């Protein structure tokens, strides 16, 4: 039995955090994900833009402030900032892979970071925690270890780091693929208020509608920090 656990070190840093979790089993990706859904989400994301310069958009400001609260690798930005920057430049977020397209749709539609991992790859429990420093990380597309920094917010399991700086950078080992059958999706809201309560059921609906998944959802907090993933 594997679990997703918010560690006390993270809750000390972000005591009001609400972390949405969607667990999906028996995913069927054979039909893909509708390109129209992602295209509409790119359009919907305009609601989070309009300020000049780009850094003054409220979602961007919020997440830059969050990233100033812990140790980050130079240049690290939240995944939602990266997505919104593309939209702002007139370069829409294009299809990548069915499950990635689904969570990018929710990220753009609700203005918060969303990521996903293949449950079959996990070794032990998944933790949202603060690194002590030196935890191994093998980034997507690289064969070089880029270990976590002391004080950095990371996701990890018993083997190594899954994502660095919240979900800024994805690890290779736990990557979602077209063959993924069981997955966990995480929606990040370090503050007490925000869109996570609406975004979680919206993602669950996409996963049941387009991938016929059996889903469970929960919003984890400092007072309710664990969820069984199996």
Of 19, 8, 6, nearest in space to 189 by CA: 19
Tokens representing 181 are: 């059958």
User: How many alpha carbons lie under 13 Å from residue 156 in its C-beta half-sphere?
Assistant: 23
Which of 161-193 are b and which e, b meaning 16 or more Cβ less than 10 Å from the residue's Cβ?
Answer: bbbbbbbbbbbebbbbeeebebbbbbbbbbeee
Give the per-residue pLDDT at 23. 99
What's this model's pTM, rounded to 2 decimal places? 0.98
53 class by beta-carbon count within 10 Å (0-12 exposed, 13-18 middle, 19+ buried): exposed
Distance in angstroms (rounded) separating the CA atoms of residues 190 and 194: 9
Q: Is the pLDDT of residue 17 over 90?
A: yes
- Per-residue pLDDT tens over the stretch 178-227: 999 999 999 999 998 999 999 999 999 999 999 999 999 999 999 999 99
- Per-residue pLDDT tens over the stretch 112-159: 999 999 999 999 999 999 999 999 999 998 999 999 999 999 999 999
- Per-residue pLDDT tens over the stretch 81-99: 999 999 999 999 999 999 9
Distance in angstroms (rounded) separating the CA atoms of residues 50 and 212: 37
What phi, psi does 25 have (nearest 5°)? -115, 155
CATH for the stretch 3-228: 3.50.40.10
């Amino acid at each position: 039995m594997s679990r997703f656990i918010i560690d006390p070190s993270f809750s000390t840093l972000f005591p009001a955090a609400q972390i949405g979790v969607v667990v999906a089993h028996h995913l069927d990706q054979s039909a893909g994900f509708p390109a129209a859904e992602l295209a509409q989400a790119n359009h919907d994301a305009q609601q989070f833009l309009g300020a000049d310069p780009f850094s003054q958009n409220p979602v961007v400001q919020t997440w830059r402030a969050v990233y100033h609260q812990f140790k980050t690798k130079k240049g690290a930005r939240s995944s939602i900032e990266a997505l919104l920057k593309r939209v702002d430049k007139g370069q829409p977020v294009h299809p990548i892979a069915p499950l990635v397209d689904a969570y990018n749709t929710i990220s753009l539609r609700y203005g918060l970071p969303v990521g996903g991992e293949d449950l079959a790859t996990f070794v032990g429990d998944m933790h949202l925690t603060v690194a002590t420093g030196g935890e191994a990380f093998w980034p997507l597309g690289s064969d070089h270890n880029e270990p976590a920094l002391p004080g950095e917010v990371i996701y990890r399991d018993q083997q190594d780091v899954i994502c660095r700086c919240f979900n800024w950078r994805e690890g290779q080992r736990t990557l979602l693929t077209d063959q993924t059958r069981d997955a966990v999706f995480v929606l990040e809201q370090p503050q007490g208020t925000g869109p996570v309560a609406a975004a979680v059921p919206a993602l669950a609906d996409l996963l049941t509608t387009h991938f016929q998944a059996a889903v469970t959802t929960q919003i984890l907090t400092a007072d309710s920090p664990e969820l069984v993933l199996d």
